[in-house]
Amino acid sequence: MTADSNPLITDLEAKLGADFVIDATAEAAVPYLTEWRGAFAPVARVVVRPGSTAEVADVVAVAIAHGAAIVPQGGNTGTVGGSAAHDPERQILMNLERLTAVRAIDTDNATMTVEAGCTLAAAQDAAEAEGFYLPIALASRERCRIGGNLASNAGGLNVIRYGNTRDQVLGLEVVTADGRIWDNLTGLRKDNSGYDLNDLFVGSEGTLGVITACVLSLAHPPRQRGVAFCAVRDAAAAVRIQRALRDETGDQVTGCELMSRQALALAVAHTEDCEWPFEPRHDWYLLIEVATAARGDWLAGIFNAALAAAQQRDDIRDLAVAETEDDQRTLWRLRESIPAAQTAEGASIKHDISLPVSKLPAFLAAAADDVAAVVPGIRPCAFGHVGDGNLHFNLSCPLDMTAEDFRAREADLNRVVHDRVAAMQGSVAAEHGVGRLKVDEIVRLKPAVEIDMLRAIKKALDPNNRMNPGVLVRI
């Protein structure tokens, strides 16, 4: 609420009611204008919280009338500054948290229709209540929201089996940049009646329109699950193991996480109840999960036989197989504790990169040399989803260097890592998106023709640069 007589705010209040319009300088705006990593200092003119698709369209109409811009926001858990507004005069920060309905679950079609502001956890609970599984596995599930998941095409832990968020999307409802409502909540699995507009909005990071609802494809919940944690001969062995496991289980690998000893050592050092399952004698570790919705108890036999074969080949050197669900959680905690542990350890520089799986071992070796040449003593802390080629090639500050001196080298470190990725046909924005963080890097690294096409799409759908300006692509 605000006593401000600013005409933009007055018009927004007339549409949404004063309770849902917050002057950006007010205390109540702080949670929406705080970036959790501290990498951006968001500012806006006003924060709005529309309660329906029609109200989202109303806000866009008011923005058009006043020449204002809109920054859509879901759970504000993104890592690249996409939901961090940055213009105190022109930007309306639009949070979607009031659009929380699960509108329908169609059990025969195996789909759910859900609004953009529903948290991922609430959507998953609703699917589970109807006997389904919504396969988007993010540690931020309690806070991130479906609209944010779609707009950032979130990845996560089970992409190897179920694909990215994009692969779950069958239909969208969008408020376009000219304020119209596009209702494509069809739930069709086949529709070749033109360009795939759903796919255009998924991963568009709020730069083309506001996603207000979607139809998501649902899977069946896993009924058999196996988890193992192993020390591997080297990163190349990890790649061989995931290939063999996928082959042996008939593509039932649902998680395949590579971790360096350095990364795991931080997890163990900084996390309560997080211990090595065996003596850490090797440089690389792999956490593998297999799961299937099929009934029976046959998966464990295949899983154990495949692990034993990998031991015989000397690809696996130490092995812990979970016997109970508690064991499974304990092994997963090793992986899940790494990001927070790295923060607790001190200054770090993060790279969310992807490569063809076959190129990961060569990348890890070369990139470790590249960064050591820039900052001797640097501690690469690599971990990530080796099964889908996405690594978090994170770098921790040398023990004898100040955080300030380390930060001063960030641009140089980014450049050598990104150059190495580009030289190996990888992506420097694998699952977290471009946001404001990597706009210039993708211009530097992508072919000019690709940047021209991105700009042409942006100009066609948002000619006045009203939707999340400064994010993903500049026009």
Q: Which residues of the chain form contacts with ligand FAD (CB under 6 A)?
A: 71-79, 82-83, 96, 116, 138-140, 144-145, 147-149, 151-152, 154-156, 205-206, 210-211, 431-432, 468, 471
Whether 281 and 318 have beta carbons less than 8 Å apart is answered as: yes
> In the chain, how many H helices and how many E strands?
16, 17
Query: Within 291-378, where are the H helices?
Result: 299-312, 325-336, 338-345, 360-374
Q: Min. distance of Cβ 354 from ligand FAD in angstroms?
A: 11
Nearer to ligand FAD, 71 or 331 (CB): 71
Q: Is 203 helix (H, G, I), strand (E, B) or coil?
A: coil
Nearer to ligand FAD, 226 or 469 (CB): 469
Nearest to ligand FAD by Cβ — which residue?
148
Whether 111 and 133 have beta carbons less than 8 Å apart is answered as: no
Q: Min. distance of Cβ 238 from ligand FAD in angstroms?
A: 19
Nearest C-alpha neighbor of 45 from the set 96, 97, 10:
10
Question: What is the rounded distance in angstroms from the CA atom of residue 435 to the CA atom of residue 207?
Answer: 10
Place of tokens 């795939």: 196
Q: Min. distance of Cβ 415 from ligand FAD in angstroms?
A: 24
Q: Min. distance of Cβ 468 from ligand FAD in angstroms?
A: 5
Question: What is the rounded distance in angstroms from the CA atom of residue 266 to the CA atom of residue 466?
Answer: 43
Cross-strand partners of 69:
91
Q: Min. distance of Cβ 401 from ligand FAD in angstroms?
A: 27
Nearer to ligand FAD, 202 or 235 (CB): 202
Beta strand pairing status for 224-232 and 209-217? unpaired
Nearer to ligand FAD, 83 or 113 (CB): 83
Nearer to ligand FAD, 313 or 329 (CB): 329
Angular region, 435: left φ>0, alpha ψ -120 to 50, beta rest: left
Nearest C-alpha neighbor of 249 from the set 296, 297, 300:
300
Q: Min. distance of Cβ 431 from ligand FAD in angstroms?
A: 4
Q: Min. distance of Cβ 391 from ligand FAD in angstroms?
A: 12
Nearest C-alpha neighbor of 9 from the set 112, 73, 93, 99:
93
Provide the token pair at 17: 């009611």
Nearer to ligand FAD, 206 or 226 (CB): 206
Nearer to ligand FAD, 210 or 245 (CB): 210
Nearer to ligand FAD, 203 or 380 (CB): 203
Q: Min. distance of Cβ 463 from ligand FAD in angstroms?
A: 18
